Amino acid sequence: MTEWYYGQGGQQEGPIDDATMRSRIAEGLVGSGDLVWREGMPEWLLLGQVSELSAVSAPQASPYATPSTNPYPAQPAVAYVAAPPTSGLAIASLVCGILAILSICFHIGIIFGIPAVICGHLAMKSFKNPQLAMGGKGMAIAGLICGYIGSLISLVIIGFFVVLFMTAAASSSSSDDESGGLESWQFSP
């Protein structure tokens, strides 16, 4: 087993074994300008002149900067806030309003229009309460508009048919009066 000595700053250090000497060189504790000696060497030599230890060298400083782990600058933290839940009344208002528009063809738009208007107004009232953070104001407004339009058109159509039937009934009763009415249809014994 080889025992090494080294001189550093006017002080002699050692004896240390070969593995310890190599680790101190690798760590940079013993440099190429330090004197080293072991038994069998004629004199103290600079570390760089000893062929046995020249393979082990201290880490050399790189002329390049070490790369950072993130080459991009740090982005500011963004806090994402979850959207408030959608109001069930707003959804009901929109669905009923759409059904009111679609059921105009069957002259029953008012059946879906009235619930659309009621749910829409209740949803709009709940949006004014700051303790109930709810979303869906646009759905409530769309439901109100569709509900009012569906109800109004259905009422106009129903009113048109009522007027049509009343005028038909009135003209038929006046023509019955001129022709004798029902008495002319009666048979006498």
pTM: 0.49
CA 21/CA 14 separation, integer angstroms: 9
Q: E strands within the chain?
A: 3-8, 11-17, 35-38, 45-46
Q: What is the chain's pLDDT, residue by residue, as a tens digit (189 residues)?
A: 688 888 887 888 888 888 888 888 888 888 878 888 888 888 888 888 887 776 665 455 555 566 566 666 667 777 777 888 888 999 999 999 999 999 888 878 888 999 999 999 999 998 888 888 888 899 999 999 999 999 999 999 889 989 999 998 888 776 655 555 555 555 555
